[in-house]
């Protein structure tokens, strides 16, 4: 069973993640219950989903981007980004775009090949919940959120780069 880390704690996952089928076919639209649907299903059923009785989230695959849901981000209770393989870094850019360019404030969840050693950078890029791959030791993974105490670059968590913060601290 995959474990969810949210707000630095291991928590029960109340969301149902609707995956595509083995040949990429879309899942059936859910009737109720908190659900995360693939982007294509959201696009296909958007109008019907607007009156969905429970909370609804959309997941983006690594080759997708936030543009198709940009106008609807206020309505979504959750956005997830899929990491198809642990070495695939596209999701980091997608997360920053969601947070920084589109101002998304809701829950941003990493799904797929989400491993211990990725959590720190994912967090910096704006993810705040992590659906760990099944084999991961969630207790150990919690410590990885704080691997590095600082970072040189701008990120979602540190919008001001170190060189400007250093200067401000010196003044």
Partner 1 sequence: MYHYDEIDQKLVDERVSQFRDQTRRYLAGKLSEDEFRALRLRNGLYIQRYAPMLRIAIPYGLLSTRQLRKLAHIARKYDRGYGHFSTRQNLQLNWPKLPQVPDILAELATVEMHAIQTSGNSFRNITTDHFAGVARDEIVDSFVWCEIIRQWSTFHPEFSYLPRKFKFAVNGAKSDRAAVAVHDIGLHAVRDEKGEVGFRVLVGGGLGRTPMIGFVIREFLPWQHILTYFEAILRVYNRYGRRDNIHKARIKILVKERGPEKFREEVDAEWAHLKDGPATLIPEEIARIENRFTRPNYLGLPATDAALEATLVADRAFANWHKRNVHPHKKAGYAAVTLSLKQTGVPPGDVTVEQMEKIADLADRYSFGELRVSHEQNLIFTDVQLSDLHSLWQEVKALGFATPNVGLLTNIICCPGGDFCSLANAKSIPVAEAIQQRFDDLDYLHDIGEIDVNISGCMNACGHHHVGHIGILGVDKNGEEWYQIQVGGNQGEVRPGVGASLGKVIGPSFARAEIPDVIEKLIDCYLERRDSDAERFVDVVHRVGVEPFKESVYGNVDQRAAHRRGHLASA
Q: Are 116 and 137 contacting, i.e. CB atoms less than 8 angstroms apart?
A: yes
**89, burial (CB in 10 Å: exposed 0-12, middle 13-18, buried 19+):** middle
Question: What per-residue string of b and e applies to 110-142 under the rule 16 or more CB within 10 Å gives b?
Answer: bbbbbbbebbbbbbbbbbbbbbbbeebeeeebb
Q: Please, what is the minimum distance in Å from the beta carbon of residue 17 to partner 1?
A: 22
Which residues in 48-77 contact partner 1 (CB under 8 A)?
65
How far apart CA 26 and CA 145 sit, in angstroms, is 33
Shorter beta-carbon distance to partner 1: residue 109 or 116:
116
Q: Is 140 in the site for partner 1 (CB under 8 A)?
A: yes
Q: Quote the tokens at residue 2.
A: 């995959």
> Does residue 111 bind partner 1 (CB under 8 A)?
no
Interface with partner 1 (CB under 8 A), residue from 88, 106, 138, 142? 88
- Binding segment for partner 1 (CB under 8 A), chosen from 15-23, 27-35, 42-50, 159-167, is 159-167
The residue from 8, 10, 11, 93 that contacts partner 1 (CB under 8 A) is 93
Which of 51, 74, 139, 149 touches partner 1 (CB under 8 A)? 149
Q: Minimal CA–CA distance to 57: which of 38, 29, 43, 83?
A: 38
Q: In this structure, are residues 119 and 145 in contact, taking their beta carbons and an 8 Å threshold?
A: yes
Given the structure tokens 């695939």, which residue do they identify? Answer: 88
State which of residues 96, 138, 142, 145 lies at the interface with partner 1 (CB under 8 A): 96
Which residue lies nearer to partner 1 by CB, 33 or 161? Answer: 161
- Site for partner 1, rule CB under 8 A: 65, 86-90, 92-94, 96, 101, 115-118, 120-121, 124-125, 137, 140, 147-155, 159-164, 166-167
């Amino acid at each position: 069973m995959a474990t969810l880390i949210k707000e630095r704690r291991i928590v029960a996952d109340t969301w149902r993640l609707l995956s595509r089928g083995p040949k990429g076919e879309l899942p059936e639209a859910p009737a109720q219950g908190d659900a995360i649907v693939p982007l294509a299903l959201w696009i296909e059923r958007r109008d019907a989903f607007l009156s969905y009785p429970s909370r609804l989230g959309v997941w983006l695959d690594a080759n997708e981007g936030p543009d198709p849901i940009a106008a609807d981000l206020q309505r979504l209770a959750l956005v997830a980004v899929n990491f198809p393989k642990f070495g695939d870094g596209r999701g980091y850019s997608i997360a920053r775009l969601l947070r920084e360019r589109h101002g998304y404030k809701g829950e941003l969840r990493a799904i797929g090949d989400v491993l211990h050693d990725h959590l720190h950078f994912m967090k910096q890029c704006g993810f705040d919940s992590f659906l760990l791959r099944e084999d991961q030791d969630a207790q150990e993974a919690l410590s990885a959120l704080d691997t590095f105490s600082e970072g040189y670059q701008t990120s979602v968590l540190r919008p001001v780069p170190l060189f400007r913060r250093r200067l401000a601290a010196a003044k």
